[in-house]
Structure formats: C-alpha cells, structure tokens
Amino acid sequence: MTNQRKHIAIALIGQPGVGKTSIVHLIDETLESRGTTFVIETHDIIYTIWELQTSSYEPERLAVFSASFLDESKAFSRYVLIVSDSSAEDINQISYSMRFLRKQFPKTRFAIIANKQDLQERLNRTRIERMTNLPTLELSATETEQRDRLVNFISYLMAERTGF
Ligand SMILES: Nc1nc2c(ncn2[C@@H]2O[C@H](COP(=O)(O)OP(=O)(O)O)[C@@H](O)[C@H]2O)c(=O)[nH]1
Ligand SMILES: [Mg+2]
C-alpha cells in the first residue's frame, strides 16, 4: 500500500567548500548521511540527496563521480543542483561545463544555487542566469532563516516540469 510513494533524486554537485553539506543541513539539520546519500521521507515522496563533489567538470571526472547517482536514480525524477560559491571564476567554469553536464545527466532538470552571497564580490542571480541560462537561487546556506527560500526554490523546480 505504501509502495506508491514518488521518488525524487537530487544531486548537489560542486567544488569542495562551496557549501553542499551546509545546504543539506539547512534543509534538515538532523539529517545524517547513509553512505553517500541523505534521505528525506514524507507521506508521499522519498527524496534522496547525493552530495557529489568534484574538483573539475571535465567529462572523465563527471563520468566517475556521477555513476552511482545515475544508476540508482534511473527510475526517479532527477534533479541536479549545481552549487557555486558565486565567484566569477566558479560560475565561468560551470557555464563552460554545461554541455558536458547535460550530456552526462540525461533527463535531468538543472538549476544553480548561488551560495555564499554574504561574502564580497559575488555574482548575483541576474548575472548568473544570463551566463548559464539556468534558474538560480541566491543563498547564504549558513543563515538558518534562509531555509524557506531554499525549500521554495526546490518546490518550484519540481512543480515546473519543463526544461527536460
Ligand atoms: N560565509 C559563508 N560561509 C558558508 C556558506 N555556506 C557554507 N559556508 C562555509 O563554507 C565551508 C564549507 O562548507 P561545506 O558545506 O562543508 O561545503 P562542501 O564541501 O561543498 O560540502 C564551511 O565552513 C561552511 O560553514 C555561506 O553561504 N556563507
Ligand atoms: Mg561536504
């Protein structure tokens, strides 16, 4: 009877230190990882969150670090949230790498979390959306009052099923 729950797979990908773990803990500070994943179960949905850390978006690296996510999320709705520290350097690299990322993650909805907005010299949402063509959320993951904005953004992506 309870097997009808919908599965949603979310990968947080990004360079070391951009705030992936902080984002998971902003959603739910009590979440503990099950190996490489975090699981949130609600009445009708099971969310599995993968934290995929990479030092580069080169195709060879992407293939290695995304293998388990791609394999285990085959039957699920798949989302990749690219986490950035919002520096020009990181956003440039993401923008350049989008064609590899799209190839590596088929049938996937992409978005950007532009984290560390409280720090100096961060690119804003408008700028990042223009550079990447992806929906972008400005965030400071260490500020707990920003949780609702994060949750609303993820809900918005899930409600809006275009872009595949
Ligand atoms: N100033 C600031 N620091 C942050 C923010 N998000 C994360 N951090 C800090 O950045 C460091 C790396 O964060 P972490 O979540 O471990 O990054 P991960 O390697 O991507 O998982 C930690 O010291 C966090 O407290 C933010 O929005 N603003
Ligand atoms: Mg981490």
Supply the pLDDT for residue 34: 81
Closest-CA residue, ligand 1 atom 11, reads: 17
Q: In degrees rounded to 5, what are phi and psi of residue 83?
A: -95, 130
Which numbered ligand comes closest to the C-alpha of 17? 1
Which domains are seen in the chain, by residue range?
Answer: 2-159 (3.40.50.300)
Cα–Cα distance measured from residue 73 to residue 26, given in angstroms and rounded to the nearest whole number: 23
Tens of pLDDT, residue by residue over 44-59, are 899 999 999 888 888 8
Supply the pLDDT for residue 164: 43
SS3 150: helix
Q: Is 155 exposed, middle or buried (0-12, 13-18, 19+ CB in 10 A)?
A: exposed
The CA–CA distances, whole Å, from 155 to 47, 79, 148, 151, 158 equal 12, 12, 10, 6, 5
Q: With a 6 A CB cut-off, is 19 part of the ligand 1 pocket?
A: yes
Q: How far is the CA of 7 from the centre of ligand 1 (A)?
A: 28
**At 32, is the pLDDT very low, low, confident or very high (cuts 50, 70, 90)?**
confident
Number of H helices, E strands in the chain: 5, 6
SS (H, E, C) 31-53: CCCECCEEEEECCCEEEEEEEEE
pLDDT at 156 over 80: yes
Rounded to two decimals, what is the model's pTM? 0.94
Q: With a 6 A CB cut-off, is 17 part of the ligand 1 pocket?
A: yes
Q: How far is the CA of 86 from the centre of ligand 1 (A)?
A: 12
Q: In degrees rounded to 5, what are phi and psi of residue 110?
A: -105, 150
pLDDT at 61 over 90: no
Q: Which of 30-44, 116-130, 142-156 has the lowest mean pLDDT?
A: 30-44
Q: Give the mean model confidence (pLDDT) for residues 56-75.
A: 89
Q: Give the mean model confidence (pLDDT) for residues 119-128.
A: 98
